Amino acid sequence: MTALARRAGPVLLLLLLWQLAATATGGQFLLAGPAEVAAWLSDNPGLVGRALSVTLASAAWGFLAGNLAAILLVAAAMLWPPVLGLLTGLALIVFCLPLIATGPILRVMMGPGDGPQVVLAALAVYYTTLIPLLAGLRAVPSAWIDLVACLGRGHLAQLVHVRARAALPYLVAGMQIAAPAAFLGAMVGEFTGAERGMGVLTVRFIRDLNTAALWSLASIAALVSIAVYLGVGAAGRFLRLERPPVILAPPRLPQGSAGRRLGRAVLLAGATLVLWWGGMEALGLNPFFAKRPPDLFAALFLAPDAGATWQALLQAAAQTAVFVLPGYLAGLALGTGLAVALSLVPALSGLVTPLAIALRSVPVVTTAPLVVLLLGQGALGTIALVALMVFFPTFVACQHGLQQAPGQILDILRSHGAGRVPQMRHVRLPAMLPAFFASARMGVPAAILAVTVVEWLATGRGLGNLMTLSASLSDYTMLWLTVVLVTLASVLCHGGVAWIERRVLRLYAPEQVEG
């Protein structure tokens, strides 16, 4: 009974705060409270049920396909390590492709139906599974690997018996991050012309000024995400019989001379160009909207209006950068800070975790007007929305990272009477660093994705606006140029985070870098 009360208390508090906020902003068509939401849902159960089943099906197929793709990619890379760099590079590039641009192209290629929704859901999840999984597969006690080698077994045995098992907690973390992302991906996919689903209804109700219906959809999306998050977590606890016993093996970070790094970059760029150009030719995509590399080269360097093209691109990029950098950093700080705070004061978890998932899974289209009203049309609102999108993966990854602290070392500290704070400083934080940096890398495309969506839907500035404007004016050359620019920027920032990671780990956790 008291346990039930402890769990129900925070939820009731959240509902009360929500109702108060709705009452305070009443008459502005911004926010509907739980009472209105419940009333609307009980009036329209069939409509919501059908929409939910459609979107849930797309999200589930996308979730399955995306996670399977991530697992297969990682397994391939583990069995044949030389392709690891190329595979993760290509995976990153595909993940960075802005969905505002890929959505309509998928629709033209796949025609009416669920295709684009499923693909966008899969694209939204595979990378957030891939990166923790890679971290996890490397986070293996090196003695176990030596044991496998001593027994004369190869990569496959190492993968099946040692690495896969060690990677399980990381896979669970990845899937927990992926669950709301899949749902959002499916909803955004519906914006490309789907007949039914939660995304279609969201667009309808925004125009109809139907606040109760809009927040009902958002509440359902949040509840589904919370349920899946908790379900995946429970499944993970069921599978994970013991905590990681000893200190982590060194993750193999990309090393090598400047020349070799340059070689890798050239190889990746070449493979991308081949896949891009070759893929378009193989699929016979119409050059009206499927621009090839030479089209972009001509627009940038040969066309008479190349100067104007450069100016439009750079101006939009500058407008976006101003928002995305502070938002990204704020999101990282918020996610890490919250994970650390919950680890120090676990009692807060019941209140904070559902709120965190809800904030992440309520679609930006629903929250954007509220945040913009609270924080203004200017920088603050956009930065807050970007931070909101970045903080959740960081929060989840850091929580898992904090739990990776070796139990024996914690026992030693406890036996010396060290409190929670010294435990945090000396053991948990260093143990969290690989997970933190993994989430910082994942956060780069997420932040750029977030800022372009906010620019598209709310502020009408920067690259997100340039993309939608170009698409509506059939200026597909400009659209593809922004795709290349956004992707390139994401990949470079990603590289920058990896560079910082090497230096930080060398200082604070040298055993994870050298060896």
Partner 1 sequence: MTFDRMNRRDFLGATAGLAASAGLRAQAAWAQVPVALQLSWLHSVQFAGSYIALDRGWWREAGLEVSLLQGGPNAPVEPPVVAGNALVGISAADYAAAAVAQGAPFRIIGVAMQKNPFVIASLADNPIASPADLPGKRIGMAVSNTPVLQALCSLNGVDIAAVQIVPTQYSAQPLVAGQVDGLLCWETDLPVAMAIQGIEAHTMLMADHGYALQSQTYVATVDSLATRRKELVALMAGEARGWDACRADTDAAAELTVRMFPDAGMDLPTQQLQARRQVPLMFSDLTDAHGFGWWTDETVEENIRILSLLGRTVTRDLWDRSILEDVHAG
Residues lying near partner 1 in the complex (CB under 8 A) are found at 27-30, 47, 50-51, 54, 100, 103-105, 107-108, 111-112, 188, 190-196, 200-201, 203-210, 213, 285-286, 288-289, 365, 368-369, 373, 377, 457-461, 465, 468-469, 471-477
Provide the token pair at 157: 């045995």
Q: Please report how close the Cβ of residue 192 comes to partner 1 at its closest, in angstroms.
A: 5
Residue found under tokens 């409270």: 33
Between 342 and 471, name the residue whose CB sits nearer to partner 1. 471
What one-letter code names the amino acid at 168? Answer: L
Minimum separation from the CB atom of position 295 to partner 1 (A):
11
CB within 8 Å of 211: residues ≥ 6 apart: 29, 30, 31, 32, 36
**Which CB sits closer to partner 1, 47 or 379?**
47
Nearest to partner 1 of 432, 471 (CB atom): 471
User: Residue 315: which of 478, 474, 471, 445 has the closest Cα?
Assistant: 478
What's the token pair of residue 94? 């595909």
Q: Minimum distance between the CB of residue 81 and partner 1, rounded to whole angstroms?
A: 39
The identity of residue 457, as a single letter, is L
3 state SS for 372-423? HHHHCCCHHHHHHHHHHHHHHHHHHHHHHHHHCCCHHHHHHHHHCCCCHHHH
DSSP code, position 287: T
Which residue, 259 or 304, is less far from partner 1 as judged by CB?
Answer: 304
Q: Helices 34-43 and 45-79, interaxial angle, to 10°?
A: 100
Q: Which is nearer to partner 1, 120 or 405 (CB)?
A: 120
Contact yes or no for 155/79 (Cβ under 8 A): yes
Q: Which is nearer to partner 1, 166 or 200 (CB)?
A: 200
* Minimum separation from the CB atom of position 463 to partner 1 (A): 13
* Max intra-chain CA distance, the chain: 75
Q: Which is nearer to partner 1, 305 or 411 (CB)?
A: 305
Nearer of residues 18 and 205 to partner 1, judged by Cβ? 205
* Smallest gap from residue 277 Cβ to partner 1 (A): 18
Residue type at 274 in one-letter notation: V
Distance in Å, CB of 323 to partner 1, minimum = 13
Tokens found for residue 515: 């060896």
Could you tell me the smallest distance in angstroms from the CB atom of residue 369 to partner 1?
6
Q: Which of 108, 100, 200, 102 is nearest to 469 (CA)?
A: 100
Q: Residue 443 contacts by C-beta under 8 Å, 6 or more apart in sequence?
A: 328, 331, 332, 390, 393, 394
Q: Is the distance from CB of 63 to CB of 53 less than 8 angstroms? A: no
What count of residues does the chain have? 515
119 vs 194, beta carbon nearer partner 1: 194
Local structure of residue 262 (DSSP, 8 states): H
The whole-angstrom distance between residue 299's C-alpha and the CA centroid of its chain comes to 32
Toward partner 1, which CB reaches closer, 35 or 109? Answer: 109
Minimal distance in Å, beta carbon 42 to partner 1? 16
Distance CA 87, CA 67 (A): 15
Q: CA–CA separation, 201 vs 505, rounded Å?
A: 47
* Intra-chain end-to-end CA distance of the chain, in Å: 52
Contact between residue 449 and residue 267 where contact means Cβ atoms under 8 Å apart: no
Nearest distance from residue 14's CB to partner 1, in Å?
Answer: 24
Nearer to partner 1, 40 or 126 (CB): 40
CB of 444 to partner 1, least distance (A): 23
Tokens of 390: 């970045």
**C-beta of 276: minimal distance to partner 1 in Å?**
18
Task: Name the token pair of 315.
Answer: 């101006």
User: Which residue number, 377 or 408, has a Cβ lying nearer to partner 1?
Assistant: 377
What torsion do the CA atoms of 67, 72, 74, 76 make, to the nearest 10 degrees?
-170
Nearer to partner 1, 30 or 74 (CB): 30
Q: Shortest gap between Cβ of 462 and partner 1 (angstroms)?
A: 10
Tell me the closest approach of the beta carbon of residue 47 to partner 1, in angstroms.
Answer: 6
Position 316, amino acid? A
Based on its alpha-carbon atoms, the radius of gyration of the chain, rounded to whole angstroms, reads: 23
Q: What is the CA 95 to chain-centroid distance, rounded?
A: 9
